[in-house]
Amino acid sequence: MKNIDNNHVNFQSNLENLKLKNKLHGKELDMKCQNQEKIYNNISMDLNGQDWERCLSNFEELNNNSKDMRQMMKTQNEIVQDTFSLTENILISLENTSKQKQILRYNDWVVTLIDEIIVPGLGVGGRDAWIKISNAYTRNMSQNTIDFEYFEYKDDEEEQLFEQLEDILDKVNMTIEDFDWLIKLNKMRNAEFHINAQPIDEAKKQLEMPFPDDFECYKEPLKKALDAIETQWKNNSKQKKRSRKRKPKK
Protein backbone atom coordinates (compact mmCIF):
# COMPACT_ATOMS: atom_id res chain seq x y z
CA MET A 1 0.00 0.00 0.00
CA LYS A 2 3.07 2.25 -0.10
CA ASN A 3 2.17 3.61 -3.56
CA ILE A 4 -1.28 4.55 -2.32
CA ASP A 5 0.22 6.50 0.59
CA ASN A 6 2.69 8.28 -1.72
CA ASN A 7 -0.11 9.19 -4.11
CA HIS A 8 -2.13 10.63 -1.24
CA VAL A 9 0.81 12.82 -0.17
CA ASN A 10 1.39 14.00 -3.76
CA PHE A 11 -2.28 14.76 -4.35
CA GLN A 12 -2.49 16.69 -1.09
CA SER A 13 0.63 18.70 -1.92
CA ASN A 14 -0.56 19.49 -5.46
CA LEU A 15 -3.99 20.48 -4.21
CA GLU A 16 -2.52 22.85 -1.62
CA ASN A 17 -0.30 24.43 -4.29
CA LEU A 18 -3.25 24.95 -6.61
CA LYS A 19 -5.34 26.45 -3.81
CA LEU A 20 -2.54 28.88 -2.94
CA LYS A 21 -1.96 29.86 -6.58
CA ASN A 22 -5.68 30.37 -7.11
CA LYS A 23 -5.98 32.53 -3.97
CA LEU A 24 -3.03 34.77 -4.83
CA HIS A 25 -3.98 35.01 -8.48
CA GLY A 26 -7.57 35.81 -7.56
CA LYS A 27 -6.43 38.74 -5.44
CA GLU A 28 -4.25 40.09 -8.25
CA LEU A 29 -7.05 39.74 -10.78
CA ASP A 30 -9.47 41.47 -8.42
CA MET A 31 -7.06 44.41 -8.08
CA LYS A 32 -6.76 44.63 -11.88
CA CYS A 33 -10.56 44.62 -12.21
CA GLN A 34 -10.83 47.42 -9.66
CA ASN A 35 -8.15 49.36 -11.52
CA GLN A 36 -10.01 48.76 -14.80
CA GLU A 37 -13.16 50.26 -13.32
CA LYS A 38 -11.18 53.23 -12.00
CA ILE A 39 -9.64 53.85 -15.45
CA TYR A 40 -13.10 53.75 -17.08
CA ASN A 41 -14.33 56.35 -14.60
CA ASN A 42 -11.30 58.56 -15.30
CA ILE A 43 -11.84 58.29 -19.07
CA SER A 44 -15.49 59.20 -18.61
CA MET A 45 -14.51 62.33 -16.64
CA ASP A 46 -11.83 63.20 -19.20
CA LEU A 47 -14.33 62.98 -22.04
CA ASN A 48 -16.84 65.12 -20.18
CA GLY A 49 -14.13 67.65 -19.36
CA GLN A 50 -12.64 67.40 -22.84
CA ASP A 51 -9.20 66.79 -21.36
CA TRP A 52 -7.89 64.96 -24.44
CA GLU A 53 -4.30 64.63 -23.31
CA ARG A 54 -5.27 63.02 -20.02
CA CYS A 55 -7.89 60.95 -21.86
CA LEU A 56 -5.20 59.57 -24.20
CA SER A 57 -2.99 58.71 -21.24
CA ASN A 58 -5.84 56.85 -19.57
CA PHE A 59 -6.57 54.94 -22.79
CA GLU A 60 -2.95 53.77 -22.85
CA GLU A 61 -3.24 52.74 -19.21
CA LEU A 62 -6.51 50.96 -20.02
CA ASN A 63 -4.84 49.09 -22.87
CA ASN A 64 -1.96 47.95 -20.67
CA ASN A 65 -4.31 46.95 -17.85
CA SER A 66 -6.49 45.00 -20.31
CA LYS A 67 -3.45 43.12 -21.59
CA ASP A 68 -2.50 42.23 -18.01
CA MET A 69 -6.06 41.04 -17.33
CA ARG A 70 -6.11 38.89 -20.46
CA GLN A 71 -2.82 37.25 -19.43
CA MET A 72 -4.10 36.73 -15.91
CA MET A 73 -7.28 35.15 -17.25
CA LYS A 74 -5.16 32.75 -19.30
CA THR A 75 -3.19 31.88 -16.16
CA GLN A 76 -6.46 31.44 -14.28
CA ASN A 77 -7.66 29.05 -16.97
CA GLU A 78 -4.41 27.07 -16.62
CA ILE A 79 -5.03 26.76 -12.87
CA VAL A 80 -8.56 25.52 -13.59
CA GLN A 81 -7.25 23.00 -16.12
CA ASP A 82 -4.61 21.81 -13.64
CA THR A 83 -7.35 21.42 -11.04
CA PHE A 84 -9.43 19.35 -13.47
CA SER A 85 -6.39 17.21 -14.25
CA LEU A 86 -5.65 16.69 -10.56
CA THR A 87 -9.28 15.79 -9.89
CA GLU A 88 -9.20 13.24 -12.71
CA ASN A 89 -6.00 11.70 -11.32
CA ILE A 90 -7.52 11.51 -7.85
CA LEU A 91 -10.60 9.74 -9.24
CA ILE A 92 -8.42 7.27 -11.14
CA SER A 93 -6.36 6.67 -8.01
CA LEU A 94 -9.51 6.09 -5.95
CA GLU A 95 -10.76 3.61 -8.53
CA ASN A 96 -7.43 1.76 -8.52
CA THR A 97 -7.34 1.81 -4.73
CA SER A 98 -10.80 0.25 -4.66
CA LYS A 99 -9.66 -2.48 -7.06
CA GLN A 100 -6.50 -3.04 -5.03
CA LYS A 101 -8.60 -3.47 -1.90
CA GLN A 102 -10.70 -6.05 -3.72
CA ILE A 103 -7.54 -7.91 -4.71
CA LEU A 104 -6.07 -7.74 -1.22
CA ARG A 105 -9.19 -9.48 0.07
CA TYR A 106 -7.78 -12.60 -1.59
CA ASN A 107 -4.95 -12.89 0.90
CA ASP A 108 -7.15 -15.08 3.12
CA TRP A 109 -7.48 -17.52 0.23
CA VAL A 110 -3.70 -17.68 0.24
CA VAL A 111 -3.89 -18.61 3.93
CA THR A 112 -6.44 -21.31 3.07
CA LEU A 113 -4.09 -22.69 0.41
CA ILE A 114 -1.29 -22.81 2.97
CA ASP A 115 -3.40 -24.35 5.75
CA GLU A 116 -5.20 -26.97 3.67
CA ILE A 117 -2.63 -27.94 1.04
CA ILE A 118 0.89 -26.74 1.86
CA VAL A 119 1.07 -27.53 5.59
CA PRO A 120 -0.52 -31.02 5.27
CA GLY A 121 1.71 -31.72 2.27
CA LEU A 122 4.79 -31.00 4.37
CA GLY A 123 3.91 -34.03 6.49
CA VAL A 124 4.49 -34.52 10.21
CA GLY A 125 5.66 -31.27 11.70
CA GLY A 126 4.21 -29.45 8.71
CA ARG A 127 3.31 -26.36 10.71
CA ASP A 128 6.85 -25.95 12.02
CA ALA A 129 8.21 -26.56 8.52
CA TRP A 130 5.88 -23.90 7.13
CA ILE A 131 7.04 -21.38 9.74
CA LYS A 132 10.61 -21.92 8.53
CA ILE A 133 9.53 -21.42 4.90
CA SER A 134 7.56 -18.31 5.85
CA ASN A 135 10.54 -16.88 7.72
CA ALA A 136 12.71 -17.50 4.65
CA TYR A 137 10.25 -15.56 2.51
CA THR A 138 10.16 -12.71 5.02
CA ARG A 139 13.95 -12.57 5.11
CA ASN A 140 14.29 -12.57 1.32
CA MET A 141 11.52 -10.03 0.83
CA SER A 142 13.17 -7.68 3.32
CA GLN A 143 16.30 -7.97 1.17
CA ASN A 144 14.32 -7.47 -2.07
CA THR A 145 15.33 -10.92 -3.31
CA ILE A 146 11.85 -12.43 -3.68
CA ASP A 147 12.70 -13.56 -7.23
CA PHE A 148 13.07 -17.32 -6.78
CA GLU A 149 15.96 -17.40 -9.23
CA TYR A 150 18.01 -15.43 -6.68
CA PHE A 151 16.38 -16.80 -3.53
CA GLU A 152 18.86 -17.12 -0.68
CA TYR A 153 18.69 -20.17 1.60
CA LYS A 154 20.01 -20.03 5.13
CA ASP A 155 21.10 -23.66 5.15
CA ASP A 156 20.60 -27.07 3.48
CA GLU A 157 17.49 -27.77 5.56
CA GLU A 158 15.81 -24.62 4.29
CA GLU A 159 16.67 -25.46 0.68
CA GLN A 160 15.24 -28.96 1.12
CA LEU A 161 12.02 -27.51 2.51
CA PHE A 162 11.62 -25.38 -0.62
CA GLU A 163 12.27 -28.40 -2.83
CA GLN A 164 9.49 -30.15 -0.93
CA LEU A 165 7.31 -27.07 -1.37
CA GLU A 166 7.89 -27.17 -5.13
CA ASP A 167 6.78 -30.82 -5.25
CA ILE A 168 3.58 -29.98 -3.35
CA LEU A 169 2.81 -27.07 -5.67
CA ASP A 170 3.49 -29.17 -8.75
CA LYS A 171 0.80 -31.62 -7.67
CA VAL A 172 -1.80 -28.84 -7.76
CA ASN A 173 -0.56 -27.39 -11.07
CA MET A 174 1.25 -24.44 -9.51
CA THR A 175 4.84 -23.24 -9.79
CA ILE A 176 7.09 -21.77 -7.14
CA GLU A 177 6.91 -18.48 -9.05
CA ASP A 178 3.11 -18.53 -8.69
CA PHE A 179 3.53 -19.10 -4.98
CA ASP A 180 6.07 -16.26 -4.69
CA TRP A 181 3.44 -13.82 -5.96
CA LEU A 182 0.85 -15.18 -3.55
CA ILE A 183 3.22 -14.77 -0.62
CA LYS A 184 3.88 -11.16 -1.63
CA LEU A 185 0.13 -10.63 -1.71
CA ASN A 186 -0.25 -12.31 1.68
CA LYS A 187 2.40 -10.08 3.20
CA MET A 188 0.27 -7.06 2.29
CA ARG A 189 -2.56 -8.43 4.37
CA ASN A 190 -4.70 -6.09 6.40
CA ALA A 191 -7.70 -6.88 8.54
CA GLU A 192 -9.77 -4.48 6.45
CA PHE A 193 -9.41 -6.76 3.43
CA HIS A 194 -10.35 -10.14 4.93
CA ILE A 195 -12.81 -12.22 2.94
CA ASN A 196 -15.42 -12.56 5.70
CA ALA A 197 -16.69 -15.95 4.47
CA GLN A 198 -16.53 -14.95 0.81
CA PRO A 199 -17.83 -17.87 -1.31
CA ILE A 200 -15.18 -19.39 -3.55
CA ASP A 201 -17.43 -18.98 -6.62
CA GLU A 202 -17.62 -15.26 -5.89
CA ALA A 203 -13.86 -15.08 -5.39
CA LYS A 204 -13.23 -16.77 -8.76
CA LYS A 205 -15.78 -14.56 -10.50
CA GLN A 206 -14.20 -11.37 -9.16
CA LEU A 207 -10.87 -12.43 -10.63
CA GLU A 208 -12.37 -11.72 -14.05
CA MET A 209 -12.52 -8.01 -13.27
CA PRO A 210 -9.82 -5.69 -14.68
CA PHE A 211 -6.81 -5.44 -12.38
CA PRO A 212 -4.60 -2.35 -11.98
CA ASP A 213 -1.37 -2.84 -13.91
CA ASP A 214 0.68 -3.21 -10.71
CA PHE A 215 -1.58 -6.06 -9.55
CA GLU A 216 -2.06 -7.93 -12.84
CA CYS A 217 0.78 -10.30 -11.88
CA TYR A 218 -1.34 -11.72 -9.03
CA LYS A 219 -4.31 -12.76 -11.16
CA GLU A 220 -3.05 -16.06 -12.62
CA PRO A 221 -1.46 -17.33 -9.36
CA LEU A 222 -4.72 -16.53 -7.54
CA LYS A 223 -6.74 -18.45 -10.13
CA LYS A 224 -4.48 -21.47 -9.71
CA ALA A 225 -4.65 -21.20 -5.93
CA LEU A 226 -8.46 -21.11 -5.93
CA ASP A 227 -8.60 -24.08 -8.33
CA ALA A 228 -6.29 -26.03 -6.03
CA ILE A 229 -8.36 -25.13 -2.96
CA GLU A 230 -11.62 -26.05 -4.69
CA THR A 231 -10.18 -29.41 -5.80
CA GLN A 232 -8.91 -30.09 -2.27
CA TRP A 233 -12.34 -29.28 -0.80
CA LYS A 234 -14.03 -31.59 -3.28
CA ASN A 235 -11.59 -34.38 -2.45
CA ASN A 236 -12.16 -33.81 1.26
CA SER A 237 -15.90 -33.96 0.68
CA LYS A 238 -15.59 -37.25 -1.23
CA GLN A 239 -13.36 -38.67 1.47
CA LYS A 240 -15.89 -37.73 4.15
CA LYS A 241 -18.69 -39.41 2.19
CA ARG A 242 -16.64 -42.61 1.80
CA SER A 243 -15.82 -42.56 5.50
CA ARG A 244 -19.45 -42.33 6.43
CA LYS A 245 -20.26 -45.24 4.10
CA ARG A 246 -17.59 -47.37 5.79
CA LYS A 247 -19.11 -46.84 9.22
CA PRO A 248 -20.72 -50.10 10.50
CA LYS A 249 -24.50 -50.12 10.82
CA LYS A 250 -25.90 -50.14 14.32
pLDDT of residue 77: 79
Instruction: Report which DSSP code applies to 99.
Output: H
pLDDT of residue 179: 92
Residue 242: pLDDT band with limits 50, 70, 90: very low
Does 163 or 246 have the greater pLDDT score? Answer: 163
pLDDT over 70 percentage in the chain: 78
pLDDT over 90 percentage in the chain: 16
DSSP string covering 128-190, please? Answer: HHHHHHHHHHHHHHHTT--SGGGPPPSSHHHHHHHHHHHHHHHHTT--HHHHHHHHHHHHT--
CA distance 25 to 17: 12
pLDDT of residue 5: 47
pLDDT of residue 2: 45
Longest dimension (CA), the chain: 124
CA distance 36 to 195: 64
pLDDT tens for each residue of 75-112: 887 888 888 788 877 776 666 666 666 677 788 888 89
> Does residue 249 carry a pLDDT above 80?
no
Distances (CA, A) of 28 to 34, 60, 65, 71, 160: 10, 20, 12, 12, 72
